[in-house]
Structure formats: C-alpha cells, structure tokens
Amino acid sequence: MGVLDSFRLDGRTAIVTGGNRGIGRAIAEGLADVDANVVIANRDEDAGAEAAADIAADADVETLAVRTDVTSEADVRAMVEEVVDTFGGIDVLVNNAGVTYHNSVADKSVVEFQETIDINLTGAYRCSKYAGEVMKGDGGGVILNVSSMSAFVANYPQHQVDYQVSKGGMEAFKNQLASEWAEHGIRVNNLNPGYVFTDNIVHGEETVETWRSEMLVDEFARPADIAPLAVYLASDAAWYVTGESVVIDGGYTVR
Ligand code: NDP
C-alpha cells in the first residue's frame, strides 16, 4: 500500500458533530473526499440536511443528517443508534461542536460558563461514550476532538474563560480516553487550531491585528486548511498516533 492509500477511508463511517458549517463542515468534506460515509450531527435540522445533501452531491459517498443536540444524552444515544442502523457501525467520531461566550469573568454568568462546558466538553464525553461502545464491539475506531490552541495559552485581548476551561479539560479527557480504550483498538487524539475565520470569531479590527502580530504566518486559516490534518488523524496513516494533541495555528503559540 502506498503512502497516499493509507489516508483513504473508503466505506468507513464518520460522524462529525457540528458538521454543517465552519471547521466541522470542512472536516466532513475532507473525510468524504477520501471516501468516508459522513454523518452530520448538529441542532439546526435544515442546515444539517442541506450540508449532508451537498456533501453527497460533491463526493460519491453516502451521507446522513441526524438532528442532535450534544447536551442531550437522549439525542446522542438516538443519533448513534440511527448511524448504526444505517451504516452498520462507526469508524470515526469527530467531536467538533463548540461555542463560546465573548465576555470577561466579571460579566460571564455561571449559567453561560456551564453551557459552554456542557456543549464543548461534556458533549464530547456523551458522544464518545456511546459511539465508543459501538467501536469497542467492532474492534476499534478513531475519536478526534477538535480542541484549540486555547487549551495551552490564555486568549487575549478577548476574554473567554468558559472556552479555555472547556478546551483545557479536553486535553485531560483525551489522555484518559486514549489510555482507557487503547486495549479496544480505539485511538483518541486532539486537533488544536489557532484562529480560523468562522461564525465563531466575532471580533473587531484591533483584536484581529493583535492576533496577527503574534503569528508567524501572516494569514488566518480557513476551515479547509484544518481538514487535511483531520483526515490524517482519522486515517490509518496515523495508526501509531494516539493520546496526542496536534496544534495547527500558524505559529501563534510559539511566541
Ligand atoms: P461555528 O460557530 O462555525 O460552528 C459551530 C458548530 O457547532 C455548528 O455546526 C453548530 O451547529 C454546532 N453546535 C453548537 N452547539 C451544538 C450543540 N449543542 N449540539 C450540536 N451541535 C452544536 O464554529 P467553528 O467552526 O469555528 O468551531 C468548530 C470547533 O472548532 C469548535 O469546537 C471550536 O471551539 C473549535 N475551534 C475553532 C477555532 C476558530 O478560530 N474558529 C479555533 C480553535 C478551535 P448548530 O448550531 O446547528 O447546532
């Protein structure tokens, strides 16, 4: 098998939470491009269905949209069941769904803090718990968490402690899950982007220029720039990579 062949996911099934837009959408498109069947799991039913239809039209793969709120255990269980009924199993889970509140500790309510943790971190836990059970029964799989460089550095000048804590927790989550499930053939890694221009990024020119001044590459990433790394980590090309976090940030965290 050649090197490029080891990146292929022909006939495998990949779930991407928040796969309807932004980084998740780009990852879903990347996985479909190497022939994985893709499941889009997000809250907005119409947006999910549209993304799934577009991806199926562009790549010769099967897609499925399942309306899922990752804060609902019932939703996650039902989504996993529907995926197994449709495709027979789960090979890859990408825990990508994520939000943040752009406000300081003083202004952020406890409810807002908990909401972010519930989506970004506990949501990844819910999905991994139920998808992982399926993977264990089938001899293995891959879990890829979309974390952030914010797991390792403080964000500035904007404040978003809810987000930092959720992504910091995702590092410990990944370590523990990789360790606990290695014996079941499940690899668990984190992908940690820097600033990528999506709906998630809402900041003024001054803030954006502050970020740029910290970067080694003078341009911000697009969602499509994150997809190749996700494809690598999801594929057999990365069979020896587990319990790892890979930062992709244009050199931001070096400074
Ligand atoms: P977007 O705001 O563009 O997309 C967020 C996605 O998450 C949407 O698809 C949304 O769909 C979904 N989502 C939100 N809440 C839930 C929920 N409760 N259940 C299911 N799906 C949900 O964000 P990005 O593409 O920018 O971010 C994607 C991931 O990348 C996040 O984890 C983020 O933290 C991470 N990241 C982003 C960076 C950036 O600079 N943009 C940098 C580093 C990491 P819907 O609303 O329909 O549910």
pLDDT attached to residue 220: 93
Residue 77 is predicted with a pLDDT of 98
Instruction: Examine residue 208 and state whether it is found in any structural domain, yes or no.
Output: yes
Is 249 near ligand 1, meaning CB less than 6 Å away? no
**Spacing of C-alpha 47 from chain mean position:** 18
Is residue 252 a part of any domain in this protein?
no
Q: Is residue 250 one of the residues assigned to a domain?
A: no
Among residues 162, 165, 154, the alpha carbon closest in space to that of 210 is found at 154
User: Could you tell me the sign of the dihedral formed by the alpha carbons of 147, 40, 23, 75, in that order?
Assistant: negative
* Cis ω for the linkage preceding 157 (within 30 of 0): yes
For residues 29 and 56, is the Cβ–Cβ distance under 8 A?
no
The residue segments making up the domain with residue 195 are: 3-245
Amino acid residing at 233: L
Instruction: With respect to residue 253, please indicate whether it lies within any of the assigned structural domains.
Output: no
> Which of 87, 72, 73 has its CA nearest to residue 15?
87
25 lines ligand 1 (CB under 6 A): no
Q: What is the pLDDT of residue 201?
A: 74
Residue from 43, 117, 197, 249 to probe ligand 1 pocket by mutation (most atoms less than 8 Å from CB): 43
47 CA to centre of ligand 1 in angstroms = 13
Residue 230 to residue 34: CA distance in whole angstroms: 11
Q: For ligand 1, is residue 200 a contact (CB within 6 Å)?
A: yes
Q: pLDDT tens, position by position, for the chain (255 residues)?
A: 799 999 999 999 999 999 999 999 999 999 999 999 999 999 999 999 999 999 999 999 999 999 999 999 999 999 999 999 999 999 999 999 999 999 999 999 999 999 999 999 999 999 999 999 999 999 999 999 999 999 999 999 999 999 999 999 999 999 999 999 999 999 999 999 999 988 777 778 899 999 999 999 999 999 999 999 999 999 999 999 999 999 999 999 998
pLDDT for the residue numbered 198: 82
61 in a structural domain = yes
pLDDT given at position 175: 98
- Active-site residue, 232 included: no
**Which among 181, 200, 87, 192 is positioned nearest to 143, based on CA atoms?**
181
pLDDT of 199: 76
Q: Is there an atom of ligand 1 within 6 Å of 24 CB?
A: yes
User: Could you give the number of structural domains in the chain?
Assistant: 1
Task: State the CATH number of the domain containing residue 21.
Answer: 3.40.50.720
Choose, from 163, 195, 232, 252, the residue flagged as catalytic. Answer: 163
Residue 113 domain-assigned (yes or no): yes
The conformation of residue 238, written as its DSSP 8-state character, comes to G
H or E stretch including 188? Answer: strand 186-193
Residue 251 included in any domain: no
Whole-number Å distance between alpha carbons of 62 and 83: 12
Q: Please tell me the residue having the least CA distance from ligand 1 atom 10.
A: 18
Task: Tell me, yes or no, whether 120 lies in a domain.
Answer: yes
Give the pLDDT of residue 231.
98
